[in-house]
Amino acid sequence: MAKQTIIPFGPQHPVLPEPVHLDLVLEDETVVQAIPSIGFVHRGLEKLVEKKEYTELMYVTERICGICAFGHNWGYCHAIELLMKVDVPERAEYLRTLWHELSRVHSHLLWLGLLADAFGFESLFNHCWRLRESVLDLFEKTTGGRVIFSVNKIGGVHRDISPEVLTEMATVVAGMRKEVNELINVFVNDTSVKNRLVGVGVVTKEEAEDLCAVGPTARGSGVVTDIRLTGNGVYDKIGFEPIIEEAGDCYARTLVRCRELIQSMDMVIEICETIPEGEIAVPVKGKPEGEFFARLEQPRGEAFYYVKGNGTKNLERMRVRTPTNINIPFLVKSLEGCSLADVPVIVICIDPCISCTER
């Protein structure tokens, strides 16, 4: 047996925008085991339910993660609305879905950039992030914020979007299509990119199911799982189909995200065109009592929000289960047997969001 060496990876590492630590057990150049350790970003924000009122807590949930901020906010509001039996107006649901899908476009473009950075394609990284800025401009125009919006509230949304701005949004997103297609062409067809992705970090469908993987990571292994199918938002009205790839390697995960990017842009355009008129919020009275949970498909996978109220203005418990946390066993599995040089690509391929994971 070859001699085993342990290489520490992280918490501060050039490829990682966020701190996570992996101990890589190597035999020569091959990883035989990866031991993750987390906790560098733990803040303990679930405990803040004791100090913040349930309406204020919305701003805390938004800051679980700055990339999928809107989704976390929506998930929390959705759980409270189900608990208090609030009927959200249809236009508000459309607006929420619109912002959520735009968030997915920005998150996937960001991820494609990070992936390009992980295999050393610096100009591709810059192109992805340049395109992402046009999405952020749309956010700034409609909500006032670039990454954190605070536009949700319990019972609806704070801001409406005027018909002119909706038309402009559809035009901007349609205009991005050509450039996004060019970028995707590089990720999907370029030989040097394929050499780094095809056949790397393979996890079969059975293994992915056993490891309870979620989101694009699981869909890249052929697992049909997408919470958008279960009917929050207006996904049933705009003809949504989950995107599945079978191969289970890094290339398949990239393909899933590329196709989702196009699909989300189509959904944004469709919502801009079909959004109904009406109220954007309903008044909410009373205090939450009882318990409920809501699920939501984040760009990284299924997120789960549990709330328990006791009839006072402070909740008794809030619990969030985030996609990266669930995908860490999947990551450990996909690292087994890979070469040391492939580690950054495989780590990036589950789209890790450490501040979600550790909260």
Partner 1 sequence: MSYVTKSPWVIHYDGSSCNGCDIEVLACLTPMYDAERFGIINTGNPKHADLFLVTGGVNEQNKNVVKQIYEQMPEPKVVVAIGICACSGGIFAECYNILGGVDQVIPVDVYVPGCAARPESIIDGIVQGLGVLAEKRAAMGSAPAAKTEE
Q: Quick one: 277 exposed, middle or buried, by C-beta within 10 A (0-12, 13-18, 19+)?
A: exposed
Told to check if 348 binds partner 1 by CB under 8 A, we report no
Alpha helices in the chain (DSSP H): 57-62, 69-83, 90-118, 122-143, 163-189, 191-197, 205-210, 215-219, 250-274, 323-335, 343-349, 354-358
Count of Cβ atoms closer than 10 Å to residue 203 Cβ: 25
Interface with partner 1 in residues 223-262 (CB under 8 A) = none
- Per CB under 8 A, the segment of 13-21, 79-87, 195-203, 241-249 that binds partner 1 is 13-21
Cα 224 to Cα 245: distance, rounded to the nearest angstrom: 9
Told to check if 172 binds partner 1 by CB under 8 A, we report no
- Per CB under 8 A, the segment of 36-44, 83-91, 262-270, 319-327 that binds partner 1 is 36-44
Among 32, 48, 170, 172, binds partner 1 (CB under 8 A): 48
Compute φ and ψ for 6, nearest 5 degrees. Answer: -110, 120
State the nearest-atom distance from the C-beta of 123 to partner 1, in Å.
Answer: 10
Among 44, 231, 239, 283, binds partner 1 (CB under 8 A): 44
CB of 65 or CB of 347, closer to partner 1: 65
- Per CB under 8 A, the segment of 56-64, 168-176, 207-215, 253-261 that binds partner 1 is 56-64
Please give the radius of gyration of the chain, using alpha carbons only, rounded to the nearest integer: 21
Told to check if 36 binds partner 1 by CB under 8 A, we report no
Told to check if 67 binds partner 1 by CB under 8 A, we report yes
Among 152, 254, 325, 355, binds partner 1 (CB under 8 A): 355
Cα 268 to Cα 263: distance, rounded to the nearest angstrom: 9
To 10 degrees, what angle do helices 90-118 and 163-189 make?
30
CB of 19 or CB of 222, closer to partner 1: 19
Among 65, 84, 244, 269, binds partner 1 (CB under 8 A): 65
Among 4, 5, 55, 126, binds partner 1 (CB under 8 A): 126
Report the Cα 343 to chain-centroid distance in Å. Answer: 21
Told to check if 146 binds partner 1 by CB under 8 A, we report yes
Cα 291 to Cα 3: distance, rounded to the nearest angstrom: 53
- DSSP code of residue 346: H
Among 27, 28, 35, 43, binds partner 1 (CB under 8 A): 43
